[in-house]
Structure 1
């Protein structure tokens, strides 16, 4: 399938993981998701190889792409968050006969493994939420592998009835039963050049060999030192050093975005909210002055991240580049007043707000207000941002973040367009894998697993 390693993206969403894998050098040639808005956004940015379908109703041998088992390099995807209470038997071996109507989201990861079982990729990566680490399941039958396919290459551990087993260990057992060496890794996106603290769990497996990436070695960013905290934004070197062009400084200079390579001698301080969004023109919920939507830049990029995220083609001027998805949502005057009261990085639970100004009943709406701190990475961008935006208040403007600002904090470049309603765009952005984190994971797998598994 060409000189680039091939990849599929299951549960592809708006395409954040695909974007990262493409930056890492993969040819992502097939993707699937059941969400029409997600597939439309994916196709707008990556082409028509994504299909809209319920993966539970698909047969990889019939509905999947035309590639022989064993030829695929990487199978990637992020099944929706599972939550488990009990396990009767492993459902992997009975997936062909199960009823979609009787199923729910907590077994969708098994559909991911069903595709692994059919395509036999050289490697896979499955992304999920860190909350899975604290989930356990109670074994109700004698083993958790009674229904696994006959003739699997590895025997999984047997567990007695009533034993509480961590969910990740159950998943690793099922991956091992398919003949894969696998492990899971908890990664914070901020350590890989995303201006946001966002922890995600990645299961990585390989078909042959034992060595898996040590992602600690691939980190590019770190907690800042005390003196670095005093500078809320990194300034582009050519602005700071006169006629010294950034291109001459090299990719490991503090004024540029580092590439992904293991064991770098120096790691840069975390990227901050100011690094990411403070060049964008002001907008206002009132829609007067400033306007509610901005479609043009008014300032050049100030930080290296801003220059990278704008993705201006060589020879083009920043003033000629269109700006999309930068629109303010409406807020009532009480919310706007509360926004102004908050200091940088300050958060309130609704129940902590004075009853005289409290807008909601705290027993019904356990929500939070939080103004993002410009000198730190953003807090985790979640799909909840589509609801009201109280947890994502702009550092200097009395409003919540725009979709474009949220996308930047997820490491989507400005050329990545979300052709959806504002509410849908928020949801798709919040659910996405940060592309730069996907690039880091994809690069490590390509070098450590695919590079040695010939």
Structure 2
């Protein structure tokens, strides 16, 4: 065990929440999730310490029993031999799709069930079961914003019910809805966080920990080169010089109540240094004349601090860049992609009948080209099905897994060693690590006194 505050991650997914908490200073000793692909990804990026389980079948009393299939390295087995008082923080995001407007619309078409039949909205109770057993000093539970105002079958506000159950086991609880863009993530992503502690402290006010803000005027959206790349040069046409802009924070330092926050980080600042790839292109980049389907090497230097921060890989290895492969698109979709301007979207019903590729009464998909001078729209798990809502701002294709991961604030060393469609799903389901890092630092400083006394509890 560690001398730093110890955390476990329930419903860990690929490990975005774990990554951020680790970057903040927690010792995240293990994660648990029901998805094989998520656990495989977590293991690849977090010392192999994750197990695949249906959390309803796990009884923490007496320690977590491991099997050979769990593939936990022998030197890490002791991490699961814990009991009450051994854990400082329990974190997790129990899936609650019935509280999400997107989730409710997809449940019937994708899974063949109705929202009323879906029982995943009760998984927060499994989260609280672990909190009640391990009795940590604090917990943080992430969920969709729809959980705040949704009503249960009895007509009660769901968030009020959850808070009352959290308070019943001894925790002081606050609920916040935050936008990831306000915390250095190049994406508009609103999420609810339930923060509880039994340390007789006020919970951190997450608004005080915001690092970024909406641009104040058009001058802040006029993009310019930064650092040593070159001098500002305005132009009428949208070029690379227009997509690299503004001041971004020092990613190694997070300070609450900053006197001057930086403007939101944009799609262009986040991904436009990545090499072009093409649907149906050559499978290698050996050709000097064709854009490949996949790129494994960077072709240019980073142009923004965010891009430089994201490139935390050893570029001398065989594949410096991973997960940067274009998914396939038919010619019809590619033609529609070209018609869209920056940041412009279509509902399928808005497209003329002669252009509609799908039946509107069956599919509710939309097309949207991401705007290079704004944060991305919310990256969602539906990317597993198609990429129509996430069309590249400069290339006639949807985003790659690496680009989606960048927009979720995963650095380039974080790999997704699973099939492409599954990688899109777990990226879309993840908590952005950059957001999780800010939350972790807020908890460490305001609840655990780490930055003041460097002591636990």
Whether TM-score is above 0.5 comes out as yes
In structure 1, the residue matched to 2:272 is 278
Matched, 1:268 2:262: yes
In structure 2, the residue matched to 1:104 is 119
Matched, 1:206 2:197: yes
In structure 2, the residue matched to 1:42 is 42
Matched, 1:176 2:167: yes
Provide the secondary structure at the position in 1 that maps to 2:123: helix
Q: 1:379 to 1:255 in 2, by over 3 A?
A: closer
Q: Return the offset for 1:451.
A: 1.4
Contact 1:237 1:255 in 2 (8 A): no
Kindly tell me the number of residue pairs found equivalent between the two proteins.
399
Matched, 1:301 2:302: yes
Q: Distance in 2 between matches of 1:274 and 1:368?
A: 22
Contact 2:63 2:82 in 1 (8 A): no
Q: Return the offset for 1:421.
A: 0.8
Provide the secondary structure at the position in 2 that maps to 1:185: strand
Q: Return the offset for 1:137.
A: 2.0
Out of 389, 392, 400, the residue aligned to residue 391 of structure 1 is 389
Structure 1 residues 24-423: aligned runs within 5 Å: 24-64=24-64, 65-81=80-96, 83=98, 104-139=119-154, 164-232=155-223, 235-240=225-230, 254-258=247-251, 259-288=253-282, 289-312=290-313, 322-423=320-421
Give TM-score, length-normalised by structure 2.
Answer: 0.84
The alignment's C-alpha RMSD in Å is: 2.0
Give TM-score, length-normalised by structure 1.
Answer: 0.84
Contact 2:313 2:320 in 1 (8 A): no
1:415-449 CA deviation, whole Å, 9 max, x = no partner? 10000111011001000000001111111111111
Contact 1:273 1:373 in 2 (8 A): yes
Q: Distance in 1 between matches of 2:152 and 2:388?
A: 35
1:163-186 CA deviation, whole Å, 9 max, x = no partner? x32100100000000000011110
Provide the secondary structure at the position in 2 that maps to 1:237: coil
Q: Distance in 2 between matches of 1:103 and 1:128?
A: 16
Q: Return the offset for 1:267.
A: 0.3
Structure 1: 5+ residue runs without aligned partners?
85-101, 140-163, 243-252
Q: Distance in 1 between matches of 2:89 and 2:353?
A: 54
Q: Distance in 2 between matches of 1:286 and 1:138?
A: 49
Contact 2:313 2:412 in 1 (8 A): no
Q: Distance in 1 between matches of 2:8 and 2:448?
A: 15
